[in-house]
Amino acid sequence: MSHPHPDLGLPPVLPTGALRIVALGGLGEIGRNMTVFEFDGRLLIVDCGVLFPEPDQPGVDLILPDFDYIRDRLDDVEAVVLTHAHEDHIGAVPYLLRERADIPIVGSRLTLALIESKLVEHRIQPVTLEVVEGQRRRFGPFECEFLAVNHSIPDALAVAIRTDAGLVLHTGDFKMDQLPMDGRLTDLGGFARLGAEGVDLLMSDSTNAEVPGFVTSEREIAPVIDEIFRNSDKRIIVACFASHVHRVQQVLDAAEQHGRKVALMGRSMVRNMGVARDLGYLRVPGGLMVDSREIESWPPEDVVLICTGSQGEPMAALSRMANRDHPIRIAEGDTVLLASSLVPGNETAVNKVINGLTRWGARVIHKGNARVHVSGHAAAGELLYVLNLTRPSNFLPVHGEWRHMRAHARLASLTGVPDEHIVIAEDGVVVDLIDGRASIVGAVPCGYVFVDGTSVGDVTDVALKDRRILGDEGFISVVVVIDSTTGRLTGGPEIHARGSGIDPDDFERVIPQIEKALQEAAADGIADVQQMRRLVRRAVGRWVSDVYRRRPMIIPVVVEV
């Protein structure tokens, strides 16, 4: 899938002393965050994440940013700065490093630990540089200052990028929890200091720009989890994001208080929590954890399972439990806690899992019926606060769908940013900061790159269309044998169908039409195989459309003898 910009041509050559910003993902969508900064012929990348496929993208595992814009300039890349360790910000790093393995990867301690554990699976040994909040590092012409922000994963950072073109503040994903679980506050003082220095361009998280007020503190979830534990007589199963260290910590604390053992399920959950524990971000009391393979031998009232699958992913542990395709069998009286927000587009899948779990007698608690999750993204009140602190000369909303970015732009306008200095862009749109003014100057080709198993970029929009047709309408294959000299039919037609909803006996009605089309072609001296295939496809397609009002995929096979 591409992002066409018919009203925008290719950008001009970047003027001397100007800064160019090109988002290759993350604008107009939730995910695939990747922004390229260019100054003085050198490049700096902030984040490199993935997007998860929609139901109308069958067979696709992941969606990557399109690296074509920088593919011929990988040697110009000074570093990749990672704001935090969520998949939509780090998931595409292995695919970028396949193209140049020695690009320095810059991030906080936990972020680097999680990306390094991921890269082990790809057999890539990265070049990493650990940074902490308050630190400044120079990468070529880019001086980066890192600021603490709190989010739904520890160790998140905002980055201020200084060049001779001006100061850009990229917030990354953030919120302003005043009582964070780890005591690590968003550095509002740092934001204000940058505002006093002069922020030439603010790029700020737009996810919750439509939500009024301030996000609830993570600490308010703990009493709700404690109450769920008190009122549960059987097994408790908690599903959350594999990166949500704070939520897992709250569950571990409740389990310890109520005398339950805990088992982790799901490869990413086990891997991430192991890293968080080893680095001291997750406190695990001695004797609390048990192996998931032993959990069935414990009394139900003594155990808690923490697993993946809160978004209804088909192969995740929770979905398999709901489908009775997992060693853990949901039983009457079990409590299932979905401790995460609902990613847009996953509603149907999640509701299917909830219904499946409820069918087997589980009590399912989720954000819709209890306060069991708070967002990791700043709401409108917090976004206004940051806009007023930083007082940017120019504003570019990032990380959000169009409605979120539009809402964020309105907030910026209310705080006094001139409308002509508010730039709303999408993937591939080129924004230049020249003489203190940000403006759109063109666009570059920027599409979706699909990962399907080990295949990267081989799946096209045409292939996806074929898959959707196969899934919705099925297929019909028609085999005919023709004389290679005369083009006359010597065998068949033989017709097979799968998933088309057509009675096989009905194909007897279309065979005369196929024979007639081929006989007329032979009489006209047509013996080309490609033309024969088109004739067969047209005859069968017309008949199926007229009789059944359907459009299955038709695969003609012409054999010459």
Same domain flag for 167 and 126: yes
Establish if 4 belongs to a structural domain.
no
- pLDDT of 71 reads 94
Residue 119 lies inside a defined structural domain of this protein = yes
Beta bridge partners of 168: 161, 201
| Helix/strand/coil for 481 | strand
Contact 470, 508 (CB under 8 A): no
Of 15, 444, 370, 78, nearest to 220 (Cα)?
Answer: 370
Task: Tell me how far the alpha carbon of residue 42 is from its chain's centroid.
Answer: 28
Token couple for 480: 């005919």
DSSP character for 327? S
pLDDT of residue 2: 41
pLDDT tens-digit readout, 86-143: 999 999 999 999 999 999 999 999 999 999 999 998 899 999 999 999 999 999 999 9
Tokens of 287: 């004797």
Residue 485 in tokens: 């000299």
Whole-model pTM? Answer: 0.84
Across all residues in the chain, what is the average pLDDT? 89
pLDDT at 51: 83
In a domain, 12, yes or no: no
What is the mean predicted confidence (pLDDT) over 51-57? 69
Q: Do 173 and 227 belong to one domain?
A: no
pLDDT average, residue stretch 285-312: 87
Domain identity same for 472 and 513: yes
pLDDT for 471: 66
Task: Name the least confident of 18-32, 257-271, 360-374, 527-541.
Answer: 527-541
In a domain? residue 545: yes
- Residue 166 in contact with residue 146, Cβ under 8 Å? no
Q: What is the mean pLDDT of residues 58-83?
A: 90
pLDDT single digits (tens) 276-296: 999 999 999 998 999 888 888
Q: What is the pLDDT of residue 113?
A: 96
Question: Is the confidence at residue 3, as pLDDT, over 70?
Answer: no
Three-point CA angle 426, 427, 432, nearest 5°: 75
For range 61-80, the mean pLDDT: 93
Q: How far apart are CA 402 and CA 34, in angstroms?
A: 17
Two tokens, residue 336: 């299932």
Sign of the Cα torsion 130, 135, 139, 142 reads positive
Q: Which residues pair with 199 in a beta bridge?
A: none
Q: What is the pLDDT of residues 399-432, one digit of tens each?
A: 999 999 999 999 999 999 999 999 999 999 999 9
Task: Please check the confidence at residue 239 and state whether its pLDDT lies above 60.
Answer: yes
pLDDT at 1 over 50: no
Nearest alpha-carbon partner for 52 in 43, 44, 63, 41: 63
377 is catalytic: yes
Determine the 3-state secondary structure of 326 from DSSP: coil
* Confidence grade of residue 454 (pLDDT, cut at 50, 70, 90): low
∠244-144-430 over CA atoms, to 5°?
Answer: 90
**How far apart are alpha carbons 243 and 518 in whole angstroms?**
61
Residues of the domain holding 346: 218-365
Feature table: binding site for Ca(2+): 59, 61, 452
Please give the sequence-ordered ranges of beta strands (E in DSSP) within 166-246, or none if there are none: 166-170, 201-205, 236-239
Sorting pLDDT into bands at 50, 70 and 90, what band is 460?
low
110: region left, alpha or beta (phi > 0 left; psi from -120 to 50 alpha) = alpha
pLDDT at 505: 78
* End position of a domain, from candidates 435, 456, 477: 456
The 8-class DSSP code of residue 123 comes to T
- Of 59-68, 77-86, 309-318, 500-509, give the range with the top mean pLDDT: 77-86
Same domain, 55 and 176: yes
213 — pLDDT class (breaks 50, 70, 90): very high
| The predicted structure's pLDDT at residue 507 | 82
In a domain, 32, yes or no: yes
- Asked if the model's pLDDT at residue 436 lies above 90, the reply is yes
- Residue 491 pLDDT level (bands cut at 50, 70, 90): confident
| Residue 206 and residue 233 in one domain | no
Which of 47, 177, 205, 432 is an active site residue?
A: 205
Catalytic residue among 5, 377, 404, 408: 377
Domain's final residue, options 341, 365, 389:
365
In a domain, 87, yes or no: yes
Q: Minimal CA–CA distance to 167: which of 202, 135, 131, 204?
A: 202
Can you tell me the distance from the alpha carbon of 212 to that of 382, in angstroms, rounded to the nearest whole number?
A: 9
* Whole-angstrom distance, CA of residue 164 vs CA of residue 436: 11
Examine the residue annotation and report whether 421 is marked as an active-site residue of this protein.
no
**Residues of the chain with pLDDT > 90: what percent?**
61
Residue 232 to residue 300: CA distance in whole angstroms:
10
Residue 382 structure tokens: 């917090």
With bands split at pLDDT 50, 70 and 90, how would you rate the model's confidence at 487? low
Res 231 pLDDT > 60? yes
The count of residues in the chain is 561
Q: Check whether 482 has a pLDDT greater than 60.
A: yes
Name the nearest CA neighbour of 166 among 441, 430, 433. Answer: 433
Angle at 239 between CA 235 and CA 243, to 5 degrees: 135
What is the C-alpha separation between 69 and 10, in angstroms, rounded? 11
The pLDDT assigned to 470 comes to 66
Residues 225 and 162 in one domain: no
3-state helix vs strand vs coil in the chain, percent to 5: 35, 25, 40
Residue 82 has pLDDT above 60, yes or no: yes
CATH code for the domain in which residue 150 is found = 3.60.15.10
Q: Where are the beta strands (DSSP E) in 308-408?
A: 335-338, 363-365, 395-398
Residues 311 and 350 in one domain: yes
Residue 134: what pLDDT? Answer: 96
Helices 245-257 and 221-230, packing angle to 10 deg = 40
Number of Cβ atoms within 10 Å of the Cβ of 53? 19
Q: Can you tell me the mean pLDDT for 187-199? A: 97
Number of domains in the chain: 3
Whether 7 is in a domain gets the answer no
- pLDDT at residue 513, rounded to an integer: 86
- Asked whether residue 226 falls in the same domain as residue 193, the answer is no
Phi/psi for 230 (5° steps) reads -65, -35
Tell which residue, 77, 76, 122, 85, has the closest CA to residue 104.
77
Could you identify the residue written with the tokens 């393979």?
Answer: 293
Least confident of 189-203, 324-338, 455-469, 473-487: 455-469
Domain final position from 365, 400, 427? 365
Binding residues for substrate: 242-244, 373-377
CB-based contact 31:25 (threshold 8 Å): yes
Angle at 299 between CA 297 and CA 303, to 5 degrees: 95
Strands 449-452 and 455-456, bridge-based pairing:
antiparallel
Domain of 223, CATH number, reads 3.40.50.10710
Residue 467's CATH number: 3.10.20.580
Instruction: Please indicate, yes or no, if residue 10 is contained in any of the structural domains.
Output: no
Contact call for residues 438 and 421 (beta carbons, < 8 A): yes
Higher pLDDT, 507 or 75: 75
Are 290 and 401 members of one domain? no
541-547 contacts at long range (C-beta below 8 A, 24 or more positions apart): 543/509, 543/510, 543/513, 544/476, 544/500, 544/502, 544/510, 547/506, 547/509
* 236 shares its domain with 353: yes
Residue 490's pLDDT is what? Answer: 79
Reported confidence tier of residue 553, pLDDT bands at 50, 70, 90: confident
One domain for residues 192 and 233? no
At residue 160, φ and ψ (nearest 5 deg) are -100, 125
Place of tokens 């968080």: 276
Mean of pLDDT values over 21-26 = 96
Pairing of strands 489-498, 475-482: antiparallel
First vs last C-alpha separation in the chain:
42
Over range 48-75, report the average pLDDT.
Answer: 83
Express each pLDDT in 316-357 by its tens digit: 888 888 888 888 889 899 999 998 876 666 778 888 889 999
Domain match, 165 and 77 both: yes
User: Are the beta carbons of 170 and 161 closer than 8 angstroms?
Assistant: yes
Task: DSSP for 93-105, please give it.
Answer: HHHHHTT-TT-EE
